Amino acid sequence: MDGLSKLKTQLRNARFSEDDLSFDNYKATADAMLPAEKANGLYSRLVMFAQQRGYTVDDRSEMPARGGYPNPETSGQTDFELRSIWIRPTLSPQNKLMVLIHEVAHTFEPTFEWVLTYGPSVKTLSELLAEGTVWAVSEKMGWPTTRPLLYIANGLGDRPVERFDAAFFEVEPRLEQSTKAILDVLGAPAARAAA
C-alpha cells in the first residue's frame, strides 16, 4: 500500500486555512458527501464488525462505562480492558461513522507490545494508527480528508514526517491491516458509488 507515503507527502505539504481548521466546515462537507441514511447503514456494519472483534459499542450513554466524563471535545473512546467502544451519542450520523472508524482502528493495536517498547510515546503511535486509518478509508471512499490530516499533524508536532519516521514505520503494517478490514466491511466500491 502506498498509503503512508501519500499520507506523509500530504502532511509534508499541508497548509491549513482557517476554513480547514473549522470543524463546522468539515462537518458540513462530510455531511453533504454522505447522506445520513447511508452513514447509518455503514455505521451499523462497522458496529457488527467491532462486535465480531470482541468489543461492545455504546452510542447511547452520555459517558463511557468508566473513567468519568471525558473531555467535552472527546467524541469516542476505546477501553481495551473492558473491550468496549464509546461513541458520543449527540454526533451526526456521518461523524459517528468517522469516530467509529477511528475507535475500531484502535482495536488493531498491539497495545502491550507498544507500551513495553515505546512507553509514553505509545499515544503517538495509537493516534497515528487510528486517525491514519480514518484518512486512508476516507481517501479510498472519496470522503473529505482534511480533518484527519489536521488531527495527525497536530498530534505529531511541527515536523511530523521527519520527526516520526520511526512511528510511521511501526504503524504501517497495522494501518494497512485496519484499513483493508474496514474497507471490506464498508464495501468500498459500492459505498463510494452510493455516496
- Residue range 13-39: mean pLDDT, rounded: 66
Which cell numbers hold the place of 55? Answer: 468489543
**What pLDDT sits at residue 17?**
56
Query: Residue 170: CB partners within 8 Å, gap ≥ 6?
Result: 114, 118, 125
Kindly report the pTM of this predicted structure: 0.84
Which cell numbers hold the place of 122? Answer: 505509545
Going from N- to C-terminal start, the domains of the chain cover 3-46+91-194
Residue type at 158?
Answer: D
Paired with 56 in beta bridges are 84
* Spatial strand order in the sheet of 76-79: 56-58, 84-87, 76-79
- Summarised one tens digit per residue, pLDDT across range 148-187 is 877 777 766 544 444 556 677 778 899 999 999 999 999 9
Least confident of 10-19, 34-43, 106-115: 10-19
Which cell numbers hold the place of 1? Answer: 500500500
SS3 188: helix
Sign (positive/negative) of CA torsion 77, 116, 112, 174? positive
**What pLDDT sits at residue 145?**
81
CB 192 within 8 A of CB 138: no
Q: Which region holds residue 83: left if phi is over 0, alpha if psi is between -120 and 50, else beta?
A: left
CB 148 within 8 A of CB 135: yes
**What pLDDT sits at residue 41?**
95
- Summarised one tens digit per residue, pLDDT across range 84-119 is 999 999 988 998 999 999 999 999 988 778 777 777
Give the C-alpha separation, 65 to 84, whole Å: 8
Query: Considering the chain, what is the average pLDDT of its residues?
Result: 79
Least confident of 21-30, 75-84, 165-174, 179-188: 21-30
**What pLDDT sits at residue 151?**
78
